[in-house]
Structures are given as C-alpha cells and as structure tokens.
Amino acid sequence: MPKIDVKGAVEAANSYLQDFKDLMKIQLESLRLEEVELSEDQHEWLITLGFDVPMKTSSLANLMAGANSLYQREYKLFKVDSETGEVKSMKIRSLK
C-alpha cells in the first residue's frame, strides 16, 4: 500500500510544475488535473496535468486555419514515488 495518497501525489506534481514554469517560460492558464493512475506495482503515481499556452503562430494564421482559440492545450505526465512523494520525472504527454 502506498504511503503517499493520490492527493499528496497531485500536490507534489503541481508544486514541481510551479517550480519549473519560469524555467520552461510558460504561463499556466486553466491548469487542471487530467488523469491519475497508480502503477501496477504500486511504486509510482502517474499524474497528468493540463494547461493552456498561447499559440505561437500569428492570429491571421489561426483564422485561416479555422482555429477558434489563441491557446492550445498541453499536458505533462509526472511520475511520483508512492512512498516518498518525490517527483521522479516530468514528460510531455501527447494525446496522438
């Protein structure tokens, strides 16, 4: 049984992302918890956080492409140790 519950794992992932947002040069608009999973061996929590970031293309290009928003959704997947609450990794979570 994990020592760190799901709430503690989510808080660890969120804190980690907040600590690195300046280094990644992103603003966390509409930050949400997207997915939570305990690994089969129960050693890691897999936490996905999603947030909106401004699109890098011009607004004219967005309009021509039919985009309805000036933001795109990005996702980060965190592996959090279920015993210690330490974030072991942060990766880009692709939906494709």
Q: Where are the domains of the chain?
A: 6-92
d(CA 93, CA 17) in angstroms, rounded, equals: 14
d(CA 11, CA 90) in angstroms, rounded, equals: 14
Spatial contact of 24 and 90, defined as CB atoms under 8 Å apart: no
Phi first, then psi, for residue 68 (nearest 5°) are -95, -5
**Helix (H) or strand (E) run with residue 54 in it:** strand 44-54
pLDDT tens profile 18-45: 998 888 888 888 999 999 999 999 999 9
pLDDT above 70: residue 83: yes
Whole-number percent of the chain with pLDDT over 90: 60
